[in-house]
């Protein structure tokens, strides 16, 4: 009787683990996906200028709607780089639908971004892009290098 119970328990545990095993093996076979909860979010660097939201004329392939705190801006992009994972570069923004992202991070990083936006200054923002949540966890910010 004891071995019958153990056999039934083992079969039940095996049957319940099959879906998890199939998901993990499917993930390994198809490569990393930006939407996969098992994938590490890529580190991206966005370069451009945050400008006030002016309506539909600001929409385009080189723009991204950005929420900083409770204010929405349009990020007029001059460059997009992926610094980790596959080199998607600007193509990574095609994964965002709608094409908007929320900047999150410590106030010591977010306040200078707000100040640069208010002044209309170009800036570089770097962080981990969580595509499913449309969130950029900002780790660094600064001004773009000046080309001679």
pLDDT digit string (tens) for 9-53?
A: 766 766 677 666 555 554 444 444 445 556 789 999 999 999 988
Whether residue 61 sits in one domain with residue 5: no
Say if residues 91 and 104 touch (Cβ distance below 8 Å). Answer: no
In this structure, are 88 and 114 located in the same domain? yes
pTM: 0.71
The pLDDT score that the predictor gives to residue 122 is 94
What pLDDT shows up at residue 54? 76
Residue span of the structural domain in which 24 resides: 1-31
Backbone angles phi, psi at 65, to 5 degrees: -75, 130
Cα–chain center distance at 76:
18
Question: Three-state DSSP class for 108?
Answer: helix
Q: What is the pLDDT of residue 106?
A: 96
Asked if the model's pLDDT at residue 113 lies above 80, the reply is yes
For the chain, the residue count is 148
- Please report, for residues 9, 74, 110, 111, the alpha-carbon distance to residue 82 in angstroms, rounded to integers and kept in the order given: 47, 20, 21, 24
Q: Does residue 36 lie within any of the structural domains?
A: no
Backbone phi and psi for residue 42, each to the nearest 5 degrees, phi listed first:
-70, 150
Q: Quick one: 16 and 65 in the same domain? A: no
User: What pLDDT, in 10s, does the model give residues 116-127?
Assistant: 999 999 999 999
Res 144 pLDDT > 60: yes
Q: Are residues 25 and 94 in the same domain?
A: no
pLDDT digits (tens, 9 = 90+) for 82-111: 998 778 888 888 888 889 999 999 999 999
**Number of separate domains in the chain:** 2
In a shared domain, residues 8 and 55: no
| Residue 30: per-residue pLDDT | 45
Judge if 106 and 60 occupy the same domain. Answer: yes
76 with 7, same domain: the answer is no
Is there a single domain that holds both residue 62 and residue 121?
yes
Q: What per-residue confidence (pLDDT) applies to 87?
A: 81
Whether residue 52 contacts residue 74, with contact meaning beta carbons closer than 8 Å, is answered with yes
Q: What are phi and psi of 84, to 5 degrees?
A: -140, 155
In terms of domains, do 80 and 55 share one? yes
Largest CA distance in the chain: 84
Q: In whole angstroms, what is the distance from residue 117 CA to residue 125 CA?
A: 12
């Amino acid at each position: 009787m004891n071995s019958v119970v153990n056999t039934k328990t083992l079969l039940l545990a095996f049957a319940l683990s099959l879906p998890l095993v199939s998901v993990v093996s499917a993930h390994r076979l198809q490569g990393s996906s930006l939407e996969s909860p098992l994938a590490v979010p890529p580190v991206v660097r966005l370069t451009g200028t945050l400008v006030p939201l002016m309506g539909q004329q600001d929409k385009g392939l080189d723009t991204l709607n950005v929420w900083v705190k409770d204010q929405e801006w349009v990020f007029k992009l001059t460059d997009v780089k992926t610094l980790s994972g596959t080199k998607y570069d600007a193509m990574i923004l095609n994964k965002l639908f709608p094409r908007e992202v929320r900047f999150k991070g410590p106030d010591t990083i977010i306040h200078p971004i707000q100040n640069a936006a208010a002044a209309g200054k170009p800036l570089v923002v770097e962080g981990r892009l969580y595509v499913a949540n449309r969130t950029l966890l900002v780790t660094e910010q600064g001004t773009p290098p000046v080309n001679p």
